[in-house]
Amino acid sequence: MLPRDSSPRRSILCLHAPDGFRHAVRIDGRAPNPMRTQRGPNGVVMDLDLSGKRVLVTGSYRGTGAGLARVLAAEGATVWVHGFEAEPTDATAMAIRESGHDAHVVVGDIRTDEGARDVAATVGEIDILVNNYGVAEGGSWESPTEDWIDIYQKNVLSAVRLVHALSPGMKARGWGRILFVSTVGYARPNSRMPHYYASKTALVNMTVSLAKELANTGITVNCVSPGIIATAEIKEMFTRRATKSGEPTDWPSIEKHVTSGSMPNPAGIIGEPEDIGHLVAFLVSEKARYINAANIRIDGGTADSIQ
């Protein structure tokens, strides 16, 4: 008897082929999305199939957030690309659409109550909320309390506002995913930027608390804590440093220098935004239904702790 995928949302047969692999064939006649279906020597690996899911990724107009939006859209989701200005937000959404996927634009200031309400009203019903937006601003223990308040408005309360606005709809529909993006620094804070590390650590705490609050609603709440990510800004910064010190300026050389020197990790690489996106896509899928109240580090092994 042919093995059958037990997913209630679509039927798939796994067929053996002469190449030694098993291939997924949809009974409804549609081929699985090649962007989402992989194969391996032990059979078909998971198809996350986020088709039909509506996703809001905050701060997704650039950097890591844009990478998350690209991956989620490639997995079949309808993605709302969020930003604070129209031009860069439009550009990111357009690039996703040009790659054959579904993306919409929402511009609004989620750092204020009114702005967050406007964003929520624009996107409407959302199945998956990815609280990616955040800033890492310089500071020290000499920084005034105003700086602490400001960064909490940006990194913590912006997420709280959207949870308030969008989680009731998830509860009413009996399914939802809420995900926070923290930092590996929650487990190894520096003496510099204490307000930043405190705000990002708050997201880890909120993950567990909110998961308990939403128990038995069909909503899971999780957090990812990335290490350094090779965004355009990070690559530019390291390239400037390499130029100044007379080191090679090609990215593989820079990456090797950084991961064996100032920011070592056992993997020997600096993650790309899409690396975070792949983890996020899994966590918000039905395949991860038993993962809840979890914080997962994705840092190449940078953090030297077992937390």
**Whether residue 176 is found in the same domain as residue 240:** no
Residue 78 belongs to a domain: yes
Distance of CA 174 to the CA centre of its chain: 22
**Whether residue 250 is found in the same domain as residue 188:** no
Q: Most distant CA pair in the chain: distance in Å?
A: 69
**Whether residue 237 is found in the same domain as residue 171:** no
Residue 13 belongs to a domain: no
**Whether residue 154 is found in the same domain as residue 257:** no
pLDDT, position 240: 93
Residue 119 belongs to a domain: yes
The residues facing 178 across adjacent strands are 129, 221
**Whether residue 95 is found in the same domain as residue 119:** yes
How many CA atoms lie less than 13 Å away from 45 in the CB half-sphere?
Answer: 9
CB count, 10 Å around CB of 189? 15
Which residues of the chain fall short of a pLDDT of 70? 1-46, 306-307
pLDDT, position 2: 39
Residue 268 sits at the vertex; the CA angle it makes with 265 and 269, to the nearest 5 degrees, is: 105
Reported residue count of the chain is 307
pLDDT, position 296: 97
pLDDT, position 33: 54
**Whether residue 215 is found in the same domain as residue 285:** yes
pLDDT, position 44: 47
pLDDT, position 22: 41
| Domain span including residue 243 | 232-270
Give this prediction's pTM. 0.84
**Whether residue 261 is found in the same domain as residue 215:** no
pLDDT, position 307: 63
**Whether residue 115 is found in the same domain as residue 254:** no
**Whether residue 151 is found in the same domain as residue 74:** yes
Residue 18 belongs to a domain: no
- 98 contacts: CB under 8 Å, gap ≥ 6: none
pLDDT, position 47: 82
